[in-house]
Amino acid sequence: MGQVVRTLPRGQPVYGVTSLDDEIYLLRDKGRDQVEVYNAVTFHLLRCLAVPNCRNVNDVMICRHNRCLYISDYVVECVHKLGLNGGATRWNVNDEPAYLSVNQSHNVLVTCAVVRKIKEFSSVGDLLRELTLPGDVVNPWHAMQLTSGQCIVSHGDDDDAVHRVCKISADGRHIVHSHGGQQGPATGQYNVPTHLAVDNNEFVFVADRENRRVTLLSPTLNYIRQVVLSDQLKWDPLRLHLDVHRQRLYVADNEWKDGKYTSGRVVVSSV
């Protein structure tokens, strides 16, 4: 089990967290200055970044190669690209985007839950390919591509029968490995597995939203242990980010109240 080393401040709901070098980037649901930048050593707030013409943020991912942030916007159905040194653009997804990842080719993977697709875009927004997921992968949340070309995908919403994490073949047609199944609280089950993180050895961290925990799986998706437990969180774990260099897992922990997320913070755990 990981040890909590710090908690970043409570504020508006946190819809993403990522890091680069000595900085942590938090994406909050607010009207302006949506990205808060913290020092990764002292955890002090350094500055805020605005995402121009943004309606409803949903996830954030950083690209080390291109020195930029990608932010999904599910109302406008687009991805915003925000340069760390200035400049902002956006491109249309033409479907409602869920969560984001960046692959080894520095391209952006966008999960589109309603149409059960993973769309791959270049860094300037050119659509490179679309993968339609197998028919029993319903309501996919997050997809991350491995060096083999295969993808790790989490799926299952509140009313779905199956809640799993799957390893999908490179062509998107077949499930190679999976973990989970019937919705539930047991060790081998999930209750809305939303967000993922993958380390350099392809071990997988899974944010299990309604069970309020983070699970660690092997590269073949066998259960290893819980790395963040419900008593280490106050609310629901919505997003994850793994800083491999510092061996830290960042968990966006959000409060659900009166039918919506009303506030959030980030729990920093050693792993």
pLDDT at residue 153, as a whole number: 98
Give CB contacts under 8 A, 24+ apart, made by 43-48.
Answer: 43/6, 43/8, 43/268, 45/9
pLDDT at residue 47, as a whole number: 96
Q: Are 142 and 101 in contact (CB under 8 A)?
A: yes
pLDDT in tens, 154-176: 999 999 999 999 999 999 999 99
- Count of helices and strands (H, E) across the chain: 0, 24
pLDDT band for position 100 (cuts 50, 70, 90): very high
pLDDT in tens, 230-263: 999 999 999 999 999 999 999 999 999 999 999 9
Domains of the chain: 3-270 (2.120.10.30)
pLDDT in tens, 176-224: 999 999 999 999 999 999 999 999 999 999 999 999 999 999 999 999 9
**Which one-letter DSSP state was computed for residue 202?**
-
Beta strands in 199-247, from DSSP E residues, in sequence order: 204-208, 213-217, 223-228, 236-243
Residue 2 confidence (pLDDT) above 80: no
Residue 1 confidence (pLDDT) above 90: no
Residue 85 confidence (pLDDT) above 90: no
pLDDT in tens, 67-82: 999 999 999 999 999 9
pLDDT band for position 55 (cuts 50, 70, 90): confident
Return mean pLDDT, the chain: 96
One-letter-per-residue 3-state SS of 41-62 = CCCCEEEEECCCCCCCEEEEEE
| CA–centroid distance for 242 within its chain | 10
CA angle 45, 51, 52 (to 5 degrees): 145
Sign of the CA dihedral with 141 first, then 157, 224, and 248 last: positive
51: its two tokens: 């995402």
